[in-house]
Structure 1
Amino acid sequence: MQLDELDRSLLVLLLENPRGGLREHARTLGIARGTVASRFLRLQESGVITGFGPRVSPRAFGYSMLAFVHLDLTQGYLDSVVENLADIPEVVEAYTVTGGGDLLCHVVARNPEELEVVLQRMIAVPGVQRTSSQVALTQRIPFRVLPLVKNDKWSAGRSS
């Protein structure tokens, strides 16, 4: 999908003021509400906008520990391992990666003992050969995309 400056401006508004309505964003941009609505729908349908729900902190539910777990897998087991990991609620994200390990999982736990139980559940999944984990001490930069959208190099890196 080719993104233009109007798309960029709309994305900036949505990221800076996610609770603002399309009418408010149309007024800010100086364009018709229908134009904003059609752009918004196009950005959704093309996968540029991927969600609307609130971001909920696991800490609110007592999950104060965050760990990154690298998994080494037996070849051919990736899909079944991912299906099994999806059944472990404390595994909140998983990515296939290059380098050390085949899969990188973002895991939460309430305490070190619970983290050990989660790690044991992960290693028990058929196809998982070994795990290596790192506990995060402090999040220094939270997940963000607004700086990317505002980046001056944005237009040079657009995809078609």
Structure 2
Amino acid sequence: MDQLDRTLLELLQEDGRMTVSELSKRLALSRPSVSERLLRLQERGVITGFGARVSPAAVGRNIQLIIQISELKVAPHEFEKRIVLDADVLECHRVTGTVSYVIKAAVTGMDALSTLVERLLPYGNVNTSVILSSPVINRHVLPQE
């Protein structure tokens, strides 16, 4: 991966809707060269997809939280089959240490938070933390030089 690929990744992470023509101008490369680089980065799994970032609060999910599940009472694959179906769950990570899973969720209010916790209780010990602020979100990911 060269400096042009790094710059291409940075530009796309700033604005995923940037056209190939705009990328071409910013990188001083032909459109076919940019398209080829994009395809190569996708084929190598560096770029895994394109999408819009949606503000949970703007769509009525005013409470975001981190949930830790420890002392899992079911097999991990059983828990994972269930958690992927929960629309309140934004992210779920199986982790090392005393906690089995770390989940990021967004709910509409305290009643929805309570309901989510009740849904998770059969799977293990549940510890919730409401997110007050997020000083770092969606940081650009670039390869180490």
**Normalization by structure 1: what TM-score?**
0.81
**Within-5 A mapping of 1:6-155:** 6-72=4-70, 73-74=72-73, 77-124=75-122, 128-145=123-140, 148-149=141-142, 154-155=144-145
Distance 1:47 1:133, change over 3 A: same
Distance (whole Å) between structure 2 residues aligned to residue 143 and residue 20 of structure 1 = 17
Q: Which whole-Å CA distance do the structure 1 matches of 2:26 and 2:87 have between them?
A: 41
Aligned identity (percent) is 31
Corresponding residue SS for 2:124: strand
**Are the structure 2 counterparts of residues 13 and 61 from structure 1 closer, same or farther at C-alpha, using a change threshold of 3 Å?**
closer
CA contact (8 A) 2:20 2:31 kept: yes
Residue 65 of structure 1: how far off its partner (Å): 0.6
Structure 2-normalised TM-score?
A: 0.89
Q: Residues 65 and 131 of structure 2 are in contact (CA less than 8 Å); yes or no, is this contact kept in structure 1?
A: yes
The runs of 5 or more residues in structure 1 that have no matched partner are 156-160
Give structure 2 stretches of 5+ with no counterpart: none
Q: Number of paired residues?
A: 144
Q: How has the CA–CA distance of structure 1 residues 30 and 142 changed in structure 2, closer, same or farther, with 3 Å as cutoff? A: same
Q: Work out whether residues 109 and 115 of structure 1, in 8 Å CA contact, stay in contact via their aligned partners in 2.
A: yes
Moved more, 14-23 or 50-59: 14-23
